[in-house]
Chains A and B, each alone.
Chain A
Amino acid sequence: MLVYINNTNTSILLFLISVLGIFLNQKNILVMLMSLEMMFLSISFNLIFASIYLDDITGQIFSLLILTVAAAESSIGLAILVIYYRIRSVITVELMHLMKG
């Protein structure tokens, strides 16, 4: 019982770290994408633990779907990044402020 709870805590901790990774990162957009991936990972991790804990297959199906979505997402994200780099030849987050309110 205790072991499962600790696993959940680990995944939540991982999630928070990735949130902070996005949040505190001012420079590199690659790190942002990586944190995003880590977020997906922690969530699917959490789902898998939940499915084991509840003895239900749905969580694992969901985690498999999330893996697919994450792969597609990261490929599209990297593609956008490449296009962006081709135009601006810089990928620093701080310099992306053309869309001011």
Chain B
Amino acid sequence: MYLLILWLPLLGSIFSGFLGRFLGHKGSGTISVVCVFSSMILSLIAFYEVGFMGLNHCIVLSPWIEVGIFKISWSFLFDSLTVTMLVVITVISTLVHLYSLEYMQIDPHLPRFMAFLEIFTFFMLVLVTADNLVQMFVGWEGVGLASYLLINFWFTRLAANQSAIKALVVNRIGDFGLSLGILTVFYIFQSVDYFIIFSLSPLFSNYHLNFGGINISGITLIGVFLFIGAVGKSAQLGLHTWLPDAMEGPTPVSALIHAATMVTAGVFLLIRFSPLIEFSSSVLNILVLFGSLTAFFAGMSGIFQNDLKRVIAYSTCSQLGYMIFACGISCYNVSMFHLANHAFFKALLFLSAGSVIHALANEQDMRKMGSLIKFLPLTYSLMLIGSLALAGFPFLTGFYSKDFILELTQVTLNKNVHSIEGAFACWLGNLSVFFTAFYSFRLIYLTFINSVSTTRIIILKSHEPSLLMLIPLIILGFGSIFIGYLGKDLFIGLGTDFWKSSIIILPSNSYFMEAEWLKINLKWLPFILSVLGIVLATIINVTRIHIYLYNTFYRSICFLINKKWYWDVLYNRFFVYPILNFGYLVSFKNLDRGFIELLGPYGFSKIVPTWSHTFSRLQTGQLSHYLFFIVLGACLFFLIIFNQIQLLVFYSVLIFFI
């Protein structure tokens, strides 16, 4: 049953991919939905068995690589962490599959789309169920590949191809870090099995690698490499540029990539490796710094984006920042809880955005929308639920995880904690709550409430999507409301034994108890900030005082934020183009086609004719010259005979100059 969770999506993918032309749209759609739905049911059962009943499973399927002490087998680990991810992935994936049946109805390549979605799900499941790093890496790379295939699903579009390549290449940078991490793990622990690594990591907490005279803590090195992997996959600051561009794919793809699967892989990796990175405070500090910066930066970039999907993409990036710094302050279970909750409301937001885009004939620009509340009331309500959940409105899903993360950071502000990073994360996290609320409601206002700014034809044709699209939306809407409340005690309740040994938090790093007894005004702070954001968005959009438009200062700030702080431009100018130029000018033109060619075939083919011409010109046809060479040769012969090597060299030099 446990393995069926994995095989079913693979089976569906093979069926709808290879037999798509025989099955047709309906057939391949049905098969893939049935497959992934059964997988969801099975993973719910697995969640019940593993999570509630406490029956951890590790299924060893077959040996894979055995070289000396390096032994890897295909084996699947089902513990609390894995089954939580399983449920999140399969539920979101099922709903996305259902949704895309309708959304991609008139697309001629629906079977291919279904196959890609399914292979994505499969690789994600491989990623989360792996019990060793190499098998996890299979899923990791497979997810990257599937994201490439999905982002440029409409492969005739230039922008889609470009952003797919960008997604793959930027991810690959992180993957390189991760593979270095795997090598380091093997070097230090002599194994890549999770069980072995995690049981040995306390022993190796003082292990130092001597690296060119510098002692580096082995655990820190591994943690940093794993974090680089997570930076790529989870779009943290530095390698986040692929995420907004990945919006070129169809909307269900965005929902799948950004809500449940791909971007959560990095966070999952860090949570999975909690028994290891707990022993390195510097890695935790890096996580806190990068996570909070990402949360802040992405939240800020989101506020002036005009593309409906990009706003949500930036909010994903921002929420991933929350998850990462929640890991950094050693609250892995809260991070995981936020991941699960975020999957629900982010999938809801993306799919409602898809519904809006669907209704408006593929218009994505928010400036060309408005007043859709009258035409799409249901979508509006769902989007509002999603936005409120995202903004952390009390008693919705986001509140239980996001606010708890912020409360945990508030604890680090206490004077006896001495955590500067924690304070940093606290302030940036709180600020990004404000931004989150602001852009969520800016989106609501621009899309649904403000007056219309699109053409009459489009507006007249706009309609609520059919039931097939609404069912996933409604399910996700309920999820966004209730999942947080239902899951709170299970995942992050005080003294919950749900996680058992899958997450390890050192007692010295844990602040759960303190977070429960914060001052009441600190507990209210995130809510106040998000209400402030909502109010500001309302003021700007209702009263139509565009304070940020008619002022040079605000305009430049606005422009800067809209251009995402020029990350892409700077990257292109200082990394991409120099590297491309280096590749073309230095390594291609000067080295490959230049130097090596000169030493190799080209140079020889130039030298041999000139030299042979010179030598053949020695034969002038004059008898006396021939005689000269005969005599010279005789002399040389005698010199060789009498071993006068120095003289020989002298004469050869002489000949050469003649």
Contacts and interface: CB of A to CB of B under 8 A. Distances in A.
Interface of A: 19, 22-23, 25-26, 29, 32, 93-94, 96-101
B190 interface: no
Interface string B607-628: 0000000001111111110011
A97 B627 contact: no
A23 B623 CA distance: 9
B631 interface: yes
26 contacts: A19-B631, A23-B624, A23-B627, A23-B628, A23-B631, A25-B624, A26-B624, A32-B623, A93-B622, A93-B624, A94-B622, A96-B621, A96-B622, A96-B623, A97-B620, A97-B622, A99-B619, A99-B621, A100-B619, A100-B620, A100-B621, A101-B616, A101-B618, A101-B619, A101-B620, A101-B621
A97 B624 CA distance: 10
Q: Which 7 A-B pairs have the closest CB atoms?
A: A101-B619, A97-B621, A100-B621, A101-B616, A99-B621, A93-B623, A97-B622
Interface of B: 616-624, 627-628, 631
A98 B623 CA distance: 11
A96 B622 CA distance: 6
Scoring A22, A29, A93, A101 by chain B CB atoms within 10 A of each residue's CB, the highest score goes to A101
B355 to A, nearest CB: 87
Contacts of B623: 29, 32, 93, 96
A19 B617 CA distance: 24
Contacts of B631: 19, 23
A26 to B, nearest CB: 6
A96 B624 CA distance: 10
Given A19-B631, A93-B624, 10 more contacts: A23-B624, A23-B627, A25-B624, A96-B623, A97-B622, A99-B621, A100-B619, A100-B621, A101-B617, A101-B618
A22 B628 CA distance: 9
Nearest to A24: B624
Contacts of A100: 619-621
A93 B628 CA distance: 14
Nearest to B617: A101
B172 to A, nearest CB: 60
Nearest to A99: B621
Contacts of B627: 22-23
B75 to A, nearest CB: 76
Nearest to A94: B622
Nearest to B613: A101
A23 B627 CA distance: 6
A92 B619 CA distance: 18
Contacts of A19: 631
Contacts of B616: 101
A52 B622 CA distance: 41
Contacts of A98: 621
Contacts of A101: 616-621
Contacts of A29: 623
Contacts of A94: 622
Nearest to A96: B623
A99 to B, nearest CB: 5
A19 B628 CA distance: 10
A24 to B, nearest CB: 8
Nearest to B618: A101
A100 B631 CA distance: 19
B470 to A, nearest CB: 93
Contacts of A99: 619, 621
Contacts of A32: 623
Contacts of A93: 622-624
A35 to B, nearest CB: 10
Contacts of B624: 23, 25-26, 93
A97 B619 CA distance: 10
A94 B622 CA distance: 6
A23 B635 CA distance: 14
A101 B282 CA distance: 78
Nearest to B615: A101
Contacts of A22: 627
A97 B621 CA distance: 4
B315 to A, nearest CB: 83
A100 B623 CA distance: 10
A57 to B, nearest CB: 28
A93 B625 CA distance: 11
Nearest to A22: B627
Contacts of B621: 96-101
Contacts of B628: 23
A75 to B, nearest CB: 20
Contacts of B618: 101
A83 to B, nearest CB: 17
A25 B628 CA distance: 11
Contacts of B620: 97, 100-101
Nearest to B621: A97
B610 to A, nearest CB: 15
Contacts of A26: 624
A85 B507 CA distance: 116
A80 to B, nearest CB: 13
A101 B624 CA distance: 14
A89 B619 CA distance: 24
A22 B631 CA distance: 10
Nearest to B628: A23
B637 to A, nearest CB: 14
Nearest to A32: B623
A25 B631 CA distance: 14
A98 B619 CA distance: 11
A26 B624 CA distance: 7
A75 B366 CA distance: 112
A88 B621 CA distance: 16
A16 to B, nearest CB: 11
Contacts of B619: 99-101
B616 to A, nearest CB: 4
A68 B619 CA distance: 33
A90 B619 CA distance: 22
A29 B619 CA distance: 19
A40 B260 CA distance: 104
